[in-house]
Amino acid sequence: MTQTSSSRPVRPRRSVLYLPATNARALDKLPGLGCDSVIFDLEDSVAPGNKEEARESLRGFFKDGRAKALPAGMETIVRINTLSSPWGGEDLLAARGCKPDAILIPKVETPEDIVAVEDALAQTDAPATLRLWAMIETPRGVMNAGQIARTARTDGARLDCFITGTNDLIKETGVAPLPGRPWLSPWLMQIVLAARAYGIDVLDGVFNDFRNQESLAQECRDGQAMGFDGKTLIHPSQIAPANAAFGIASEQLAEAKAIAAAFALPENQARGVISLDGRMVERLHLDIAERVIEKAALIAAREQGA
């Protein structure tokens, strides 16, 4: 059966923090942080000579009880090296054994990059709940974003989220990293469009100057306006601005509740279109409203430590 966006669980992904799997101090501090998701990194932040150490550190974190001490609802993701690299196969086995919520595949350029990991997971009898995230961070990946996202609609698909690798895109294309990202934004919007077309989440890339809170907050607001679900982060100080920008505003929640209440009226339950406060509202808006309400509840529970 083909999956639809409405069938996917709602998950707040306002703030998604990268942590090198070798950084023991950062791992110990993780339970006290307010990020929605954490990416344990085995790839870019780990030097080639430290890959095995990173895998052992990751295994230890999930085995010794520290992972169970994470706040309820904090999503866990492991970024592996590409399967074509010398470390990818061992990374995938280590990640599979740790039982995170998702595995993040770097440098995804074609649908086959997703299928290869899905096939490898199938050989290990990985549970269907183990999701895949994909980094779109090369020119070829951007050009093929729609085809890649389409794999989320196949039977038994695991693909759940895109992450834009803005640093790599800048490096590979040579565009100037100017404030407001004028040259990068068209490609980012292409990635957002592909994700939305096939019902998966999409996260903005990192902001490198973690001491510049004002510019970070502006880029978070810009990312939210562009349609991103959240932002990937490199430092705990970036969590609060991201949560603020990508949260559910009180006016947005009030509107969602009004739409849900209007369609719940007996005279409207069978209608596809209704009038609400002088404007036309379709049943597709009800689907969106219900997801907003659910996400707001999950965020509230997360922030209350439930």
Per-residue 3-state assignment (H helix, E strand, C coil) for 102-168: EEEECCCCCHHHHHHHHHHHHHCCCCCCCEEEEEECCHHHHHCHHHHHHHHHCCCCCEEEEEECHHH
Q: Is 57 helix (H, G, I), strand (E, B) or coil?
A: helix
Residue 189 has pLDDT above 60, yes or no: yes
In this structure, of 8-12, 49-53, 87-91, the range with the lowest mean pLDDT score is 8-12
Q: Locate 115 and state its tokens.
A: 């299928």
CA separation for the pair 3, 50 (Å, rounded): 39
Span 278-298, mean pLDDT?
A: 93
Sign of the alpha-carbon torsion through 41, 109, 162, 204: positive
Alpha carbon separation from 202 to 64, 69, 171, 227 (Å, rounded): 32, 27, 21, 8
Residue 86 has pLDDT above 80, yes or no: yes
- Mean pLDDT over each residue of the chain, to the nearest integer: 94
Span 77-85, mean pLDDT?
A: 97
Split at pLDDT 50, 70, 90, the class of 7 is low
Alpha carbon separation from 111 to 108, 124, 150 (Å, rounded): 8, 21, 8
CA separation for the pair 231, 188 (Å, rounded): 13
No. of H helices and E strands in the chain?
12, 10
The per-residue pLDDT for 185 is: 97
Residue 290 has pLDDT above 60, yes or no: yes
Strands 102-105 and 75-79: parallel
Contact 43, 79 (CB under 8 A): yes
In single-letter form, the type of residue at position 133 comes to W
**Largest Cα span, the chain:** 67
The per-residue pLDDT for 289 is: 94
Alpha carbon separation from 241 to 164, 196, 201, 214, 306 (Å, rounded): 19, 24, 20, 9, 21
CA separation for the pair 204, 231 (Å, rounded): 5
**Domains delineated in the chain:** 5-246 (3.20.20.60), 250-303 (no CATH)
Span 281-297, mean pLDDT?
A: 93
Q: Is 22 helix (H, G, I), strand (E, B) or coil?
A: coil
CA separation for the pair 299, 249 (Å, rounded): 11
Split at pLDDT 50, 70, 90, the class of 188 is very high
Span 281-296, mean pLDDT?
A: 93
Residue 4 has pLDDT above 50, yes or no: no
Span 174-193, mean pLDDT?
A: 97
